[in-house]
């Protein structure tokens, strides 16, 4: 009997490692078939292309940590990508009108904070469902951005913004260094501070947190404001990546943010959304999609292949959790 | 107008069948060509992409295809992937200003860039429709269709963002300067790049409630015609028969709408996206054969004025029969 239990635990552990194993297998297959995939240059390309997604994923991870990781009833913030394009739109429009970058950034930050505070108020004061609230906010904020930019592409060539894409610090691209610092700061805040521990306690069990004197509503509200700030920062990386603001960027960003964050949960030992899991998820999704493209996979099939891969990984993760 | 087009098609057909191809004068043997397209949902994009990829393969080359999913940033990023995978040349289809620094990086790495519908200082050659002719022709056709006077709403989000749209919408406006009775409603409408028909449908319904029966004569789409699909839907939903629609591109989807009885969609200028993509691929081969290319290669277009011409164009461009 005991041997059987051990075998089943061993099997469940094995299933638990499958998501990671599958992704590593796919990456190994790609590196054998795509020229120049296993090069430093390509690693840099993967990291650079994933930066905007990494930033919004980090924001989403904080919201999920505070609200719990039930996709429907727990913490989620779908409005972050909209906040990011609003930040990009306001900055691009004001730069075109001749305002200094610092003033543009302040205006964009204020707008993003307003979005975060409204989310916080609607969810933690009025008690609306985060999923619906932030989906509605996504639509509303994209609408505001369409007004700000008149739904038009705006070119940006400010040297400081282009530096996020082109400048290097000690041989490392500046953009990567900055994002590592931002994610590192969020990690320390979420794991090493009292605020962070309370945040995780609130997300783990709302009732238990309340009994121990924590105010979960307030923490959930704060998490939305943090998420809005990551959206604000992401806006500048969106501008740098595209040399300006192009309409429609938010849709793909939202899809990749949700996929990468919840894919990231498959890598955590407890199958929960974590900051590092979300970041790793974002980088892996970028690596796989770049890999398929470098391999010359038929463009009409890449969506199906990527989608199926994610379903398989998440399914194994769910099986491993049930096995526990 | 049709005969010259037929002649052009025949010439293109002949060119493909000439011994120049047969004796291997033009060849992409052993070459890897990256083909970056902004999206594959729309007929135009897909056909230009198919024309380019099939011609590269026919000339013996290998294709590395990348699709931007109708997202200009993803499209621009895809050029980095092509740069890194070490292709010999890149064919880039459409795209906004975000692609320029990527073209520059490719050029600096010694990888020649060939664009489709995107003039760029970093490209060896741009293959495109005769956009000048398209813009003026649709201006004349629209002015005629409303009797030379009236109010016109225009979807024109990309005039300043994409050069081809600047040419098409700019020359449409240039023609209208000679029709003082035609007024362009301000502000102009801005269509979305992705999901264009549905977006334009909603915006047209709003416009129609703002301009009741008798106060609006035409809706023009400045640079393409996917939004016009939504415009026609909205006119039908609102039961409006007093407004005509004009646009540019003329793929099978919009020619079918124009061919319907009583269609409000009365004028268009049809392009040949497959031939454009294919011509660009041939230009790549010419470049590698040591030929000097002109900065722009123009591919003929086919003006379509009214239902009968829509049916004829549909057959002539090889989309089938609508009779």
Residues 6+ apart with CB under 8 A from A323: A8, A11, A12, A15, A16
Q: Determine the angle formed by the axes of helices A80-96 and A216-242, rounding to 10 degrees.
A: 50
Report the percentage of chain B scoring pLDDT > 90. Answer: 78
Tell me how many degrees the CA angle B211-B212-B215 measures, rounded to the nearest 5: 65
pLDDT band at B22 (very low <50, low <70, confident <90, very high): very low
With 0-12 / 13-18 / 19 or more C-beta atoms within 10 angstroms meaning exposed / middle / buried, residue A127 is exposed
Q: Which chain A residue shows the shortest CA-CA distance from B37?
A: A299
pLDDT band at B13 (very low <50, low <70, confident <90, very high): very low
Domain that holds residue A113: 50-323
Tell me whether residue A307 is in a domain. Answer: yes
Q: Cis bond leading into B241, ω under 30°? A: no
Q: Give B43 or A302, the one with higher predicted confidence.
A: B43
Asked if the Cβ–Cβ distance from A243 to B72 is below 8 Å, we say no
Provide the chain B residues 80-99 that lie in CB contact (below 8 A) with chain A: 80-81, 84-86, 96-98
Q: Which chain B residue shows the shortest CA-CA distance from A147?
A: B190
Contact between B1 and B134 (Cβ < 8 Å): no
Q: Give A243 or A140, the one with higher predicted confidence.
A: A140
What was the ipTM of the complex prediction? Answer: 0.75
Which of A43-47, A90-94, B276-280 has the weakest average pLDDT? A43-47
Query: For residues B126-153, b (16+ Cβ closer than 10 Å) or e, as one string?
Result: bbbbbbebbbbbbbbbbbebbeeebbbb
d(CA A272, CA A290): 27
Is B194 an interface residue toward A (CB < 8 Å)?
A: yes
Tell me whether residue A254 is in a domain. Answer: yes
DSSP code for B97: G
pTM of the model: 0.80
Tell me whether residue A33 is in a domain. Answer: no
Per-residue model confidence as pLDDT tens digits over B198-239: 999 999 999 999 999 999 999 999 999 999 999 999 999 999
Equal fold, B2-129+273-300 vs B131-271+307-315: yes
| Domain CATH number, residue A54 | 1.10.3470
Among B71, B78, B162, whose Cβ lies nearest the Cβ of A293? B78
Domain boundaries, chain B: 2-129+273-300, 131-271+307-315
Map residue B129 onto helix, strand or coil.
strand
Which of A67-76, B77-86, B255-264 has the weakest average pLDDT? A67-76
Q: Kindly calculate the radius of gyration of chain A based on its CA atoms and give it in whole angstroms.
A: 20
Query: What average pLDDT does the segment B105-134 reach?
Result: 95
Q: Which chain B residue shows the shortest CA-CA distance from A49?
A: B77
Query: What average pLDDT does the segment A231-242 reach?
Result: 94
Asked if the Cβ–Cβ distance from A36 to B85 is below 8 Å, we say yes
Query: What average pLDDT does the segment B98-110 reach?
Result: 94
Within 10 A of A191 (CB to CB), how many other CB atoms are there?
A: 15
State how far residue B95 is from chain A, nearest Cα, in angstroms: 10
Map residue A158 onto helix, strand or coil.
coil
Residue-level pLDDT at B20? 40
Largest CA distance in chain A: 76
Chain A and chain B share a number of CB contacts under 8 A equal to 100
Q: Is the pLDDT of residue A287 over 60?
A: yes
Task: Residue B65: list chain A partners with CB under 8 A.
Answer: 296, 298-299
At the topology level, CATH places domain B131-271+307-315 in Rossmann fold (3.40.50)
Residue-level pLDDT at B19? 35
Asked if the Cβ–Cβ distance from A293 to B81 is below 8 Å, we say yes
Per-residue model confidence as pLDDT tens digits over B230-266: 999 999 999 999 999 999 999 999 999 999 999 999 9
Mean pLDDT rounded to a whole number for chain A: 88
Per-residue model confidence as pLDDT tens digits over A277-286: 899 999 988 8
DSSP code for A126: S
Is B199 an interface residue toward A (CB < 8 Å)?
A: no
Q: Which chain B residue shows the shortest CA-CA distance from A46?
A: B81
d(CA B258, CA B269): 12
d(CA B278, CA B291): 17
How far from A209 is each of A69, A198, B129, B269, CA to CA, in Å? 16, 8, 65, 66
d(CA B214, CA A53): 49
Residues of A with CB under 8 A from a CB of B: 34-36, 39, 41-42, 45, 48-49, 146, 150-153, 155, 165, 238, 241-244, 246-249, 251-252, 290, 293-294, 296, 298-300, 302-303
Tell me whether residue A181 is in a domain. Answer: yes
pLDDT band at B17 (very low <50, low <70, confident <90, very high): very low
Domain B2-129+273-300 falls under CATH 3.40.50.300: no
Chain position carrying tokens 């003329």: B250
Asked if the Cβ–Cβ distance from B161 to A152 is below 8 Å, we say yes
Domain count, chain A: 1
Chain position carrying tokens 């998820």: A281
Residues 6+ apart with CB under 8 A from B274: B47, B48, B50, B51
Q: Determine the angle formed by the axes of helices B307-316 and B2-17, rounding to 10 degrees.
A: 10
Query: What average pLDDT does the segment B80-84 reach?
Result: 92
Query: What average pLDDT does the segment A192-209 reach?
Result: 87
Asked if the Cβ–Cβ distance from A35 to B40 is below 8 Å, we say no
């Amino acid at each position: 009997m005991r041997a059987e239990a051990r075998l089943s635990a061993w099997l469940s552990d094995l299933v638990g490692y499958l998501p990671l194993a599958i992704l590593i297998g796919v990456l190994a297959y790609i590196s054998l078939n795509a020229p120049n995939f296993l090069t430093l240059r390509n690693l840099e390309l993967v990291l650079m292309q994933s930066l905007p997604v990494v930033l919004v994923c980090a924001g989403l991870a904080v919201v999920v940590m505070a609200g719990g990781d039930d996709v429907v009833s727990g913490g989620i913030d779908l409005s972050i990508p909209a906040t990011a394009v609003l930040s990009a739109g306001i900055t691009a429009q004001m730069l075109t009108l001749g305002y200094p970058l610092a003033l543009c950034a302040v205006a964009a930050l204020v707008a993003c904070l307003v979005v975060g505070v409204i989310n916080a108020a609607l969810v933690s004061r009025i008690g609306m469902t985060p999923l619906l609230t932030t989906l509605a906010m996504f639509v509303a904020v994209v609408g505001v951005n369409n007004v700000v930019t008149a739904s038009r592409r705006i070119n940006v060539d400010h040297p400081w913004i282009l530096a996020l894409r082109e400048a290097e610090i000690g041989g490392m691209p500046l953009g990567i260094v900055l994002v590592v610092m931002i994610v590192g700061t969020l990690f320390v805040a979420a794991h090493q501070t009292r605020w962070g521990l309370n945040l995780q306690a609130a997300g783990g069990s709302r009732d238990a947190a309340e009994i121990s004197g924590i105010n979960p509503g307030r923490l959930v509200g704060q998490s939305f404001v943090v998420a809005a700030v990551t959206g604000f920062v992401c806006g500048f990386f969106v501008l740098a990546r595209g040399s300006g603001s192009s309409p429609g960027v938010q849709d793909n960003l939202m899809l990749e943010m949700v996929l990468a964050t919840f894919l990231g949960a498959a890598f955590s030992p407890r199958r929960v959304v974590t900051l590092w899991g979300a970041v790793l998820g974002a980088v892996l999704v970028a690596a796989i999609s770049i890999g398929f493209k470098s391999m010359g996979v038929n463009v009409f099939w890449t969506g199906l292949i990527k989608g199926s891969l994610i379903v398989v990984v998440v399914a194994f993760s769910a099986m491993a959790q049930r096995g526990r | 107008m049709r005969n010259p087009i037929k002649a052009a098609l025949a010439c293109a057909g002949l060119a493909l069948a000439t011994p120049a191809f047969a004796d291997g004068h033009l060849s992409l043997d052993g070459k890897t060509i990256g083909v970056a397209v902004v999206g594959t949902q729309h007929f135009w994009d897909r056909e230009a992409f198919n024309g380019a990829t099939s011609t590269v393969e026919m000339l013996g080359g290998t294709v590395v295809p990348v699709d931007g999913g109708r997202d200009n940033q993803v499209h621009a990023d895809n050029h980095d992937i092509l740069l890194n995978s070490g292709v010999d040349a890149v064919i880039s289809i459409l795209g906004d200003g975000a692609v320029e620094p990527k073209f520059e990086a490719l050029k600096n790495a010694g990888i020649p860039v060939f664009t489709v519908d995107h003039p760029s200082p970093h490209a060896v050659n741009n293959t495109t429709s005769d956009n000048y002719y398209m813009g003026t022709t649709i201006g004349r056709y629209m002015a005629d269709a409303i009797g030379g006077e009236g109010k016109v709403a225009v979807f024109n989000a990309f005039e300043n963002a994409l050069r081809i749209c600047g040419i098409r919408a700019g020359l449409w406006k240039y023609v209208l300067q000679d029709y003082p009775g035609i007024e362009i409603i301000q502000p102009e409408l801005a269509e979305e790049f992705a999901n264009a028909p549905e977006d334009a449908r909603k915006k047209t319904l709003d416009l129609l409630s703002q301009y009741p029966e008798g106060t609006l004569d035409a809706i023009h789409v400045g640079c393409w015609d996917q939004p016009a699909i939504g415009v026609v839907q909205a006119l039908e939903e609102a039961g409006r028969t007093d407004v005509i629609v004009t646009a540019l591109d003329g793929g099978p989807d919009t020619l079918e709408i124009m061919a319907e009885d009583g269609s409000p969609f009365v004028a268009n200028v049809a392009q040949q996206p497959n031939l454009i993509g294919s011509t660009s691929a041939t230009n790549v081969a010419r470049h590698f054969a040591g030929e000097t290319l002109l900065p722009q290669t123009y591919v003929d277009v086919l003006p379509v004025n009214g239902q009968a011409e829509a049916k004829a164009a549909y057959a002539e461009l090889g989309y089938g029969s609508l009779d």
